[in-house]
Structure 1
Amino acid sequence: MSAWSRTWLEQRVLRTKEEAIAWAQSAGLLLSSVQCRQHRAPMVFYPNRGPFGSFRCPKHAKHRSSEPSEVSAASGSIFEDSKLPLDKVLRLMFEWSCDASYEVTHRETGVSSRTTADWYRAIRESITMAFLQDQDDRGKIGGPGCVVQVDEAKFGRRKYHRGRTIEGHWVLGMIQDGSQDLRLVVCPGNSRTSKTLTPIIVDHVADDTTMGMSIIGSTIKRTLLIQGMVLIPKGSSPVGVRRESSSGTGEYLKKISQTT
C-alpha cells in the first residue's frame, strides 16, 4: 500500500462531505444528474440532504404528483442501503483495492471485521456484475490455433477462513492463453451439469478452439468435438502450440472469490 495514495485520498477526496460526493459522482459511483419523469426537467441536487446528497424537483411543491419528489444520489448504487457514511465506504474501497487484511482495514478505518467482510463481498459482487454486463458486448474468445483454459469456482461466504464456501453461486470462467480477456458466467440455477455448462462454453468460445479444462463430462465432450474443438487437460497445451504466459482462469477466480 502506498502512503502517498492514502494521503491523496484524505487530502484530495475526503476533506469535506461535499468534496467526497463530488468525487464519487465524477467517478460514476453516485448519480450526477436525475431527470424528473413527471415534469421532464432536471432535478436540483442538494449535497447536504441525506448521507449522499439528494435530487429534488422544484415543481413538486407546486403540483401534486405520484412520482417521488426526492431521489438519493446513491439510488441504484452499492451505497444505496449503506449504514456507513460515504467517507468510510470510500476508505473501505481503497483498502480493498490494496488487498488489505481485515486487521489493517480496521486500523485504518475503524470499521469492524464483520462489516469489512460484508463490504469486501459487496464490492467484489458489484465489480463482477459490471464485468458480466460488459462482456456481453464482446465477441467470442479463442479460434483456430488458440488455447482457452476453463475452470469453475463458487462465489460466496467463507466459513472460519478454512476455504469452505457456503451460500454461494457457481461461476464458470474462460480465458485465452496470452490474453487478459476473461469471461465469467454465473451458472443458471447453480447447476454444473453438462446441460448447463455446454451452452455457456459454446456461446463464449469460438469453434475450432483448443480447450484446456478439467470438467469434461461425456456430453460436454461430444458437443465440443462437434464444434471442432480440441480437448486437452487444464493448464497444458497441444503439440505444436506454444502456451504463452498468462494468469490461469483458476487464479482469476480464486482472486475475485476469496474473502480476504
Structure 2
Amino acid sequence: MLPPLKSLQSILSNEKSCINYLIEKGVLDSQSICNLCSSLAKRYEKVFKYRRKQCRISVSIFKDIFFSKRKLKVNEILQIGYYWLAKTPHISIKNITGHSPNTITYYANCFKALVGLNLQETQDKIRGPEIIVEIDKTKIGKRKYNHGHHVK
C-alpha cells in the first residue's frame, strides 16, 4: 500500500530532508571509511570528505548506487518514482513535476528495471496438504473479434 503523498510531502519537497530520510532508512550510508588510511570521513551535504594529509579526497554519498551520475535531485527522482508507483499517467507526471516526457520515460524504465532485478523467479508447485486443485477441461476457441466460444 502506497502512503499518502501528504505524509511524504516534507521529504519530497526538499533535497536535504530527502537525503536525511534516505540515511535514516539505510539507503544511503551515514559514514564512510577511507580505503587508503581507514579513517572516518565527515559528511558535507552530498559528499564525504577525507581530511587526512595522505588522502584529502571527496567522494559522493551517491557513489555506486542508483542515484549516482543522475542529473536530477534525489527528491525529484523519488517524486517521479512515487507517481510511477501510483500508476499516474506520464503526461500527468510531466505536468506535476515539470520535467520533459523523455525524462519521465527514462526514469520509469529505470524503476521497471529496478523492480525486475529485485523479483525472484520461483518454481512454486500448487500442491500440499489442505490445498485443493481443480482442473477444468473446458476448450475455448477464438474466432472473430477475439470473442471466446466453447469448442466441442
Same fold (TM over 0.5): yes
In the alignment, which residue of structure 1 is the partner of 2:9? Answer: 10
Quote the offset at 1:112 in angstroms.
1.3
Q: Shift of residue 128 of structure 1?
A: 2.0
The 5 Å alignment of 1:195-210 reads: none
Q: Is the 8 A contact 2:13 2:75 kept in 1?
A: no
Deviations 1:229-250 (A, max 9, x none): xxxxxxxxxxx7337xxxxxxx
The change in CA–CA distance for 1:5 and 1:70 in structure 2 (over 3 A counts) is same
Q: Is the Cα–Cα contact under 8 Å of residues 44 and 57 in structure 1 kept in the other structure? A: yes
Greater share of strand residues, 1 or 2? 1
Cα deviation, 1:52-83, whole Å, max 9, x if unaligned, reads: x0111121xx22x4xx8221111111111111
TM-score, normalised by the number of residues in structure 1: 0.45
* AA at the equivalent of 1:41: S
Is residue 56 of structure 2 the alignment partner of residue 57 of structure 1? no
Unaligned runs of at least 5 residues, structure 2: 136-152
Aligned pair count?
132
Report matched runs for 1:227-242 at 5 Å: 241-242=133-134
> Which structure would you say has the larger Rg?
2
Seen in structure 2, the aligned counterparts of structure 1 residues 27 and 121 have a Cα distance that, compared at 3 Å, is farther
Root mean square deviation of aligned Cα: 2.7
Structure 1 residue ranges without an equivalent (≥5) = 48-52, 147-177, 179-239, 244-260
Distance 1:105 1:144, change over 3 A: closer
The 1:10/1:124 distance shift into structure 2, 3 A limit, reads same
Residues 62-107 of structure 1, C-alpha deviation per residue, up to 9 Å, x if partnerless?
22x4xx8221111111111111112211110110110111111012
Q: Which residue of 2 aligns with 1:35?
A: 33
Number of the residue aligned with 2:146: none
Query: After the TM superposition, which residues 170-209 of structure 1 pair with which residues of structure 2 at under 5 Å, given as runs?
Result: none
Q: Which runs of 4+ in 1 moved over 6 A?
A: none
Identity within the alignment, %: 17
Q: CA deviation at 1:120?
A: 0.6
* 2:124 aligned to which of 124, 137, 142: 142
1:119 maps to what in 2?
Answer: 107
